[in-house]
Structure 1
Amino acid sequence: MSKEQQNEVVEELVADETVESQETAEAGQNEAEAVDARYAELEKQLDESQQRYLRTQADFDNFRRRSIKEREELARYASMKLVTELLPVVDNFERATAAASVNDDAQALAKGVDMIFRQLTQTLEQEGLTAMNVVGEAFNPDFHQAIMTVESDEYEEGIIVEEVQKGYMLKEKVLRPAMVKVSG
């Protein structure tokens, strides 16, 4: 090979290496640009996620505060319906006492009070209040409060002989246990 041919081959090799290094540099630059673009996209997604999280957190805090307020209001006014239903009973008591002060008819007053009592018990029953009938039943500490044990020929041991104070149920729950005397 002549010197001229050798120089040409060397020049071609150098030119090929230059092209390859330029291509490698361009590929590296393209890769860096792609990485930068992906990084920018991920940052944008992170910002959006953080904003969504903050909005959700604020919505939850508002919901929690609203729920607490509604619960407090419900507790404050829970008896409103019952009180509204009892107002006619109060009105009738006022009428009865006004009539009693004008009229000295004890029998009419007793009849009026009896009617008002029936109206009151009917209103309470509509709300789910029921009186317990306990005489003759077996003593149950979940429903009864024993205040005394008595001897009885009529009832066997552990049976309620007498009701001292009525017990009441509100729907399925004991509102007040009955105070009873139990045979012993």
Structure 2
Amino acid sequence: MTDKKKKKSSEKEPKVDELQLLEERIAELENEVETLEDKNLRLTAEFDNYRKRTLKEKMELTKHAGEKILTNILPVIDNFERAMDVMQDTKDIEAVKEGIELIYSNFKDFLRQNGVTEIEVLNEEFDTDVSEAITKIPAPSEDMKGKVIDCTEKGYKLNDKVIRYAKVVVGE
């Protein structure tokens, strides 16, 4: 019987050790869960701050994006005002024409510098990706069928994206 008691007591000892190990493991896991929850909370807060910051930056960028363009167009407006002042007093129509052509050239340069380009459509095959047909007329020659005969309103692209379709007359 003594052997049995020894055996039972020896069986209890491992259970106590196992229980202690399990309790230690539970404490470790609880600590790890607490650490992970803290990391998750911090990461969530960090992401929320990042989202708010980028949203604010995006709003600022949108708000001030047009400022540079508008600032750069002011010299063109100044030139128009000068031309209108000169037109009041001058009798030299050629000088007025030359001034208006110069302003037009400045304005075209301004558009080009800001990524706006004219879409060339005259005498080209009609392309619905860049043009809108407003009417069809009989083609003046056989080779002009399906081609743009006249452009009533120019089309423009901004960095390869059509911002205004050309309004055209197509030969039939």
With the shorter chain as reference, the TM-score category is: 0.7 to 0.9
Structure showing greater Rg: 1
Quick check: 2:133–2:169 contact (8 Å CA) kept in 1?
yes
2:72 alignment counterpart: 85
Shift of 1:18: 4.8
SS in 2 for 1:162: strand
The question of 1:45 aligning with 2:45 is answered no
Percentage of pairs with the same residue:
33
The question of 1:142 aligning with 2:139 is answered no
Give every structure 1 segment of 4 or more consecutive aligned residues whose post-TM-superposition deviation is greater than 6 Å. Answer: none
Amino acid at match of 1:150: I
Measure, in 1, the Cα distance between the counterparts of 2:54 and 2:6: 71
2:161 alignment counterpart: 173
Which digits, 9 at most, give the CA deviation of each residue in 1:73-123, with x for residues without a partner? 32333323322221211222222223334x233523332222111101011
Measure, in 1, the Cα distance between the counterparts of 2:6 and 2:16: 15
- Using the size of structure 2 for normalisation, the TM-score is 0.85
Q: Which of 71, 78, 96 is matched with 1:109 structurally?
A: 96
Describe how 1:7-86 pairs up with structure 2 within 5 A: 14=2, 16-86=3-73
Measure, in 1, the Cα distance between the counterparts of 2:116 and 2:85: 29
2:150 alignment counterpart: 162
Shift of 1:19: 4.6
Aligned residues: 170
Measure, in 1, the Cα distance between the counterparts of 2:15 and 2:139: 106
Measure, in 2, the Cα distance between the counterparts of 1:98 and 1:136: 40
2:109 alignment counterpart: 122
Q: Which runs of 5+ in 2 are unaligned?
A: none
Measure, in 2, the Cα distance between the counterparts of 1:25 and 1:152: 106
Quick one: structure 1 residues 135 and 21, their matched pair in 2 at CA, closer, same or farther if it must change by over 3 Å? Answer: closer
Quick one: structure 1 residues 92 and 153, their matched pair in 2 at CA, closer, same or farther if it must change by over 3 Å? Answer: closer
Quick one: structure 1 residues 39 and 133, their matched pair in 2 at CA, closer, same or farther if it must change by over 3 Å? Answer: closer
SS in 2 for 1:131: strand
Q: Which runs of 5+ in 1 are unaligned?
A: 1-12
Indicate the RMSD between aligned Cα atoms, in angstroms. Answer: 2.2
Shift of 1:50: 0.8
Shift of 1:27: 3.4
Measure, in 2, the Cα distance between the counterparts of 1:30 and 1:121: 87
Quick one: structure 1 residues 116 and 24, their matched pair in 2 at CA, closer, same or farther if it must change by over 3 Å? Answer: same
SS in 2 for 1:79: helix
